[in-house]
Structure 1
């Protein structure tokens, strides 16, 4: 007996468990791709795999509906590999271990679950197996490396796609249809710093315990970024205690940074003053972020050795001040709908190597002009602080389409099934739909998925009770496509 025994649809949950048994972090999807190829071969479907590792499986229409317009379904094979501190899980070799809370919420043990984007994969695999589903010709696109710059979809030959309507299953909920999403600009600020002799004890200053979360979906919640807090803490510390900064480090994350550390140098007579400053700051921060980040911690620990080199005073001050000044969070809301974010920014990495501090950020917006206007402002900020800004990548968004026949059909099918209205959502997260919309402008796209929360964190979870309603909607939608005049 498996942990998901008894949950429905049986074939959908079976595939979920089988996917969880196959390691598939970004850049390591080969075994999962081989598994999906094997399923295609078992059920007699033609498939094509490209050089990047993307896989397209073609399903013939249900007999009698061969002349209907084809439909594209899409999901990505990779998952984010995040785990709790202290976990010894190896994402390259270990299966995801599952447990259920409250009877229907599926979690992993101390790691990401991978429901992002296994919820899409399992429904596509179930369609490959289930010959009772009435459907038009179908193209099932399984992509790689979505979680790391969407590398897979960007290498896809778009001429292999013949459909002009598409369902993405990487966002939305069973009762929420996503109709647009953000693109991004990814850039790095580089600040040269000068080292000089230092005398004193080396300490690690660490911010931890923040909630973090998806930097698109959760950016408007008010959750703290460890990078912004570290800039604030270091600026306050430098003003009141003339310490020296050796290094700053925030490991790369595509989410809101949940922790960061710095190495500083304190003379023996400075330690008590520094601890008092940090104690007061921690009290203020805990009050400020009591609702969003209740586990916030700020610690100062001796490293057990003296430091003889650190940034000089001017470099350390610029390093801290630029970190504090870096914009974070929502920059612009839709003036007609304050729930819709049109522009946001987040710092995803900070490093200090070879005399240069790097601050890596990502700007999101479905509107190109908003992204580049913010880049211009940040370039000025960089120049004023002695840094430089280098754009490393950019990606188109998926714009909202007012006259969408697919949106209308989805709303009709959902209303017929539930008697309720399907909610509409425009997301600040980036999705592979942007690349497809940019390459195929007449593609009519919607996105829905079973209910999941906590993506990109070890608290990611899936509501198992939404799998059956989503499957019923999906199969009803495909039948409706066959019944269209």
Structure 2
């Protein structure tokens, strides 16, 4: 499948990306791809090993005569975000990604593309395969479960990597180079809430809020896009005027993707149904007006359920849960004063569910300041304590402190001017690159992050600009050769 990828330029990179598209690799299901890459390494005479967690390293000796050059680590993650449109059946553990070219961009049909971070992985593999490239010692580090938990980086073996320079290939903006990133943590809230029987005079309604753009919960959090969980909770709060009680709720699928869809079932008195349905229609128009120019596709619908559910939350529990969700922090909390234009702290209400009284919420808090992550987590705890829920913090990871005087950065800037004809923009990203975690384990590593232009990451609108991949490839090759051939006094 995806034969057309082998016709794109640079061909070595795209041939490897085809393998990644054809091999299912959602977070937690990377084993098949790891096995494929190990076989490929053996076929090409490359050393390979894994750490205790399963992260994969491929190694290639330096070009003869360049053994003294700094060792370069090419780093990316093997997993991808598994998001598909609700009306498109796709099993990310079995089905390949179906790609196509559209007006200079590569896309996938109805699913995420996996350019994040498949293109970085493909580029590293193509570099290892390139026997025309002059290079120092090379390592390609491919981590696991970045999208779900940063687990691979957090559990990375220490005293394992040998290189002194790390090139993270997990950025998404042509013409930019990243030297810092936010840290973060998952906030998990759970409760068993009391239920009561539904009455013979009650009717069930199913509510569906769909059609939002979604996106990356770090990179896109400041763009004002709708969060389906936040919006449907607003709708449910408005419908409390008609004595609704929550039966079930399902919103979002990943804590690091802005939710595009949310669904709820409620029961309410039969004589209030018509008024509630009219209110839903009015709320749809209100929300569409609020999101005009930002998120144009919102749809809000209510449908009567033929069979009344046996149980719903009791009136008090339903009201308290909706109040807590409505008050929960979400979106941009604070902009950075130290790095103008960059979000300092944010929260994404990523996954919310309710089933037979079992409530679950997973939010992802990000910040350039670890203390701000701790503070926002404590606010969640304080809020949901009020309804008797349990709150815990999981998968915390540190940020990456910028080093603007880095010799590696200066080298990249020089090559960018030579090859592209302009200065790169030096950036700090409000997202969880693995660099912060790696820096904690290998404090002497010098690092930068760069990549091609990817838009709509973590959503079925994900796409990559083909011309930017060529530019990315040329810069990567040039930087590796420059590190290998520069006089020792000039090396990063």
Range of TM-score over shorter length: over 0.9
- Sort the Cα spacing of 1:395 and 1:15 in 2 relative to 1 into closer, same or farther, 3 A: same
- Sort the Cα spacing of 1:148 and 1:278 in 2 relative to 1 into closer, same or farther, 3 A: same
Matching residue within 368, 371, 376 for 1:369: 371
| 3-state secondary structure, aligned to 2:341 | strand
- Kindly indicate whether residue 118 of structure 2 is the aligned counterpart of residue 118 of structure 1: yes
Could you give the per-residue CA deviations for residues 293-352 of structure 1, whole angstroms, max 9, x where no partner exists? Answer: 211111111121123422222111111111111111111111244411111001121122
Shift of 1:167: 0.6
Could you give the per-residue CA deviations for residues 64-89 of structure 1, whole angstroms, max 9, x where no partner exists? Answer: 11011211110111112211222233
Given that 1:20 and 1:96 are in contact with CA atoms closer than 8 Å, whether structure 2 keeps it comes out as yes
Aligned to 1:142: 142
Aligned to 1:260: 262
- Kindly indicate whether residue 289 of structure 2 is the aligned counterpart of residue 287 of structure 1: yes
Q: How many residue pairs end up in the alignment?
A: 483
Given that 1:69 and 1:136 are in contact with CA atoms closer than 8 Å, whether structure 2 keeps it comes out as yes
| 3-state secondary structure, aligned to 1:294 | coil
Shift of 1:126: 1.0
Matching residue within 262, 270, 273 for 2:272: 270
Given that 1:209 and 1:258 are in contact with CA atoms closer than 8 Å, whether structure 2 keeps it comes out as yes
Aligned to 1:39: 40
Residue correspondence of structure 1 range 257-406 to structure 2 within 5 A: 257-353=259-355, 355-406=357-408
Shift of 1:117: 1.0
Given that 1:172 and 1:178 are in contact with CA atoms closer than 8 Å, whether structure 2 keeps it comes out as no
Residue correspondence of structure 1 range 174-323 to structure 2 within 5 A: 174-199=174-199, 200-238=202-240, 240-253=241-254, 254-323=256-325
Shift of 1:50: 2.9
Could you give the per-residue CA deviations for residues 372-420 of structure 1, whole angstroms, max 9, x where no partner exists? Answer: 1222333332234544422233111112123311111111111122220
- Sort the Cα spacing of 1:393 and 1:117 in 2 relative to 1 into closer, same or farther, 3 A: closer
Could you give the per-residue CA deviations for residues 33-58 of structure 1, whole angstroms, max 9, x where no partner exists? Answer: 12222222222111112343311111
**In the aligned structure 2, how far is the partner of 1:400 from the partner of 1:317?**
45
**In the aligned structure 2, how far is the partner of 1:98 from the partner of 1:157?**
35
Aligned to 1:469: 471
Could you give the per-residue CA deviations for residues 268-303 of structure 1, whole angstroms, max 9, x where no partner exists? Answer: 211111012212211110000112221111111112
Given that 1:78 and 1:144 are in contact with CA atoms closer than 8 Å, whether structure 2 keeps it comes out as yes
The TM-score normalised by the length of structure 1 is 0.95
**In the aligned structure 2, how far is the partner of 1:265 from the partner of 1:329?**
30
Instruction: Name whichever of 29-38 and 312-321 sits farther off.
Output: 29-38
Shift of 1:354: 5.4
Aligned to 1:94: 95
Aligned to 1:15: 16
**In the aligned structure 2, how far is the partner of 1:28 from the partner of 1:193?**
33
Could you give the per-residue CA deviations for residues 168-226 of structure 1, whole angstroms, max 9, x where no partner exists? Answer: 11114331101111111212233553212322111211211111111111101011111
| 3-state secondary structure, aligned to 1:306 | coil
Deviating beyond 6 angstroms after TM superposition, the runs of 4 or more aligned structure 1 residues are none
Residue correspondence of structure 1 range 155-174 to structure 2 within 5 A: 155-174=155-174
- Sort the Cα spacing of 1:172 and 1:246 in 2 relative to 1 into closer, same or farther, 3 A: closer
Shift of 1:353: 4.1
- Sort the Cα spacing of 1:195 and 1:475 in 2 relative to 1 into closer, same or farther, 3 A: same
| 3-state secondary structure, aligned to 2:4 | coil
Shift of 1:5: 4.8
- Sort the Cα spacing of 1:2 and 1:206 in 2 relative to 1 into closer, same or farther, 3 A: closer
| 3-state secondary structure, aligned to 1:229 | helix
The TM-score normalised by the length of structure 2 is 0.94
Structure 2 unaligned blocks of 5 or more: none
**In the aligned structure 2, how far is the partner of 1:484 from the partner of 1:344?**
44
| RMSD, matched Cα | 1.8
**In the aligned structure 2, how far is the partner of 1:407 from the partner of 1:270?**
64
